[in-house]
Amino acid sequence: MDRRLNLTGWAFLAPAAVLIVLVNFVPMIQAFILSLQSGRGTNLNFADPLWYNYQRLFGDEIFKQTLVNTFIYLIIQVPIMLILAMILANLLNNPNLKAKAFWRTAIFLPAAVSLVSYSLVFRTIFATDGFMNDFLALFSVPPVNWLGEPETARFVLILGLLWRWTGYNMIFFLAGLQNVDRSTLEAARIDGANAFQTFWRVTVPQLKPIILLTAILSTNGTLQLFDESWNLTKGGPAYASMSMSHYLYEVSFQRNPNFGYGAALSYVILILVAILAFIQLRVGDKRD
């Protein structure tokens, strides 16, 4: 290519690339250095041993609890959400469906609501003297202390995540379905496959790239869960529903800020994101 045009291309790309390096890669490296330091506030020195903060994490019961919580959300919520999103997208993709625009808007709308807003609405609905208990009372179910018990608090948080993100993921599947070859669906029908078989054996395999994309994005999002933990359950009762990022915030910016320890904790999140993405990419490749 023309040298002048090549340089123009670089000039167009440069601002974005420089910004990404400055706000992502540089801080990422700084965080690693920080994770090897200890001390309070700005008075930081290299720790002895260097991996002291990481060592400390393994003995931190609260950290372990938040790690377990995050994995509970990940393992239960992400698969359910992606399956629901795929089913909804498949239903919406039916050419004979009536009022398509209405269904699509209604199902996507939660994704336009801020995480803090919906967390507070769910918190109100699931208050001890709130709507959900009044509703259950109609069926003579005794009131449940939704946000006061570990299991129910996690349940409400998972329900909230499903509410907020299923429609969002559905949009990706809906876009992916545009690329599914209609003739393959026809062929399956002629061969006598029922709707479920067609969906599972013909449609789903063709959606694989989208499944991979949404799985990685959702895993990434769940590992960084903060707003819901902070606003919906406040991490409670005690630390029973707190996410890792919520604990990271507490360690780094509340009471006695400890940047070194916080940075170590943030690196655990970074490493988990990397490992899980790697596994998902591997599994995604294998099925070919």
Partner 1 sequence: MTKTSTLRAAPGYAFLGIWTLFSLFPLYFMVVGSTNTSQDVLGSRLIPGGAFFENLAKLFKAQDVGSALFSSFFIAVGTTVLALIVCSIAGYGFEVYHSKGKDRVMAVILLAMMIPFAATMIPLFQVFAKLGLVNSLWAVIIPAISTPLLILLFRQSSRAFPSEILEAARMDGLNELSIFARIYVPTMRATFAAAGVITFMTAWNNFLWPRVILIKNEVQTMPMLISNLSAGYVTDYGVLMLAVLIASLPAMVVFLVLQRAFADGIVGAIK
Among 144, 252, 280, 284, binds partner 1 (CB under 8 A): 252
Binders of partner 1 among 199-228, rule CB under 8 A?
210, 220, 223-224, 226-227
Judged by CB under 8 A, does residue 109 bind partner 1? yes
Six token digits for residue 113: 């609501």
Give Rg (Cα) of the chain: 23
- Mapped onto helix, strand or coil, the DSSP state of residue 46 is strand
Judged by CB under 8 A, does residue 193 bind partner 1? no
Binders of partner 1 among 44-73, rule CB under 8 A?
none
Task: Measure the CA–CA gap between 232 and 146, rounded to whole angstroms.
Answer: 11
99 or 190, CB closer to partner 1?
A: 99
Binders of partner 1 among 145-174, rule CB under 8 A?
163, 166-167, 171-172, 174
- Could you count the other beta carbons within 10 Å of the beta carbon of residue 110? 16
Contact window for partner 1 (CB under 8 A) among 59-67, 116-124, 149-157, 198-206: 116-124
Among 106, 141, 238, 279, binds partner 1 (CB under 8 A): 106
65 or 166, CB closer to partner 1?
A: 166
Task: Measure the CA–CA gap between 229 and 245, rounded to whole angstroms.
Answer: 9
Which amino acid is residue 35, in one-letter code? S
Binders of partner 1 among 118-147, rule CB under 8 A?
118, 120-125, 127, 129-131, 134-135
Judged by CB under 8 A, does residue 185 bind partner 1? no
Judged by CB under 8 A, does residue 230 bind partner 1? yes
Name 227's Cβ contacts closer than 8 Å, sequence gap at least 6: 115, 116, 119
Judged by CB under 8 A, does residue 76 bind partner 1? no
User: Could you give the angle at which helices 208-223 and 150-177 cross, rounded to 10 degrees?
Assistant: 150
Task: Measure the CA–CA gap between 217 and 215, rounded to whole angstroms.
Answer: 6
154 or 228, CB closer to partner 1?
A: 228
User: Could you give the angle at which helices 244-253 and 259-286 cross, rounded to 10 degrees?
Assistant: 160
138 or 190, CB closer to partner 1?
A: 138
- Could you count the other beta carbons within 10 Å of the beta carbon of residue 133? 18
17 or 187, CB closer to partner 1?
A: 17
x/- map, 3-42, partner 1, by CB under 8 A:
--xx-xxxxxx-xxx-xx--xxxxxx-xx--x--------
Q: Cα angle vertex 273, ends 272, 274, to 5°? A: 90
185 or 270, CB closer to partner 1?
A: 270
Residue positions counted in the chain:
288
Task: Measure the CA–CA gap between 253 and 262, rounded to whole angstroms.
Answer: 9
Among 49, 64, 148, 179, binds partner 1 (CB under 8 A): 179
Judged by CB under 8 A, does residue 110 bind partner 1? yes
Nearest in space to 111 (alpha carbons), one of 48, 172, 155: 172
Among 46, 51, 75, 94, binds partner 1 (CB under 8 A): 94
State the nearest-atom distance from the C-beta of 279 to partner 1, in Å.
13
